[in-house]
Amino acid sequence: MTSIETKLNEALDTIKFYERINTELKTEIHRLRLRDAQTQLEERISKLPEAAQERLRKIFPSTDIAGLKYAVKVEQRGAQ
């Protein structure tokens, strides 16, 4: 027979394991959503004139998705 203390420690270890897995999955989901947003923006940027593409890539070299998304919309309006 195992003691209550042993069962408690095993349960706590199991909880820690699942919390670690949960954290890793949340991180992976965030990374995939970010990559999806970047891919969609790249598709939108590729439809713009060459000058606008270069300007946007120079202004937004990092992962500022919200700012880049707005800038793409502005460029699309200007191109029409």
> Residue 64 region, left (φ>0) first, then alpha (ψ -120 to 50), else beta?
beta
24-32, long-range: CB < 8 A, 24+ apart:
none
In the prediction, which pLDDT does 51 show?
87
Range 2-22 average pLDDT: 97
pLDDT in tens, 17-71: 999 999 999 999 999 998 888 888 888 888 888 988 888 888 776 666 777 778 8
Give the domain extent around 30. 4-79
CB 19 within 8 A of CB 43: no
In the prediction, which pLDDT does 12 show?
98
Instruction: Give the model's confidence band at 1: pLDDT under 50 very low, under 70 low, under 90 confident, else very high.
Output: confident
- CB half-sphere exposure, 45, CA atoms < 13 A: 21
Q: How many independent structural domains does the chain possess?
A: 1
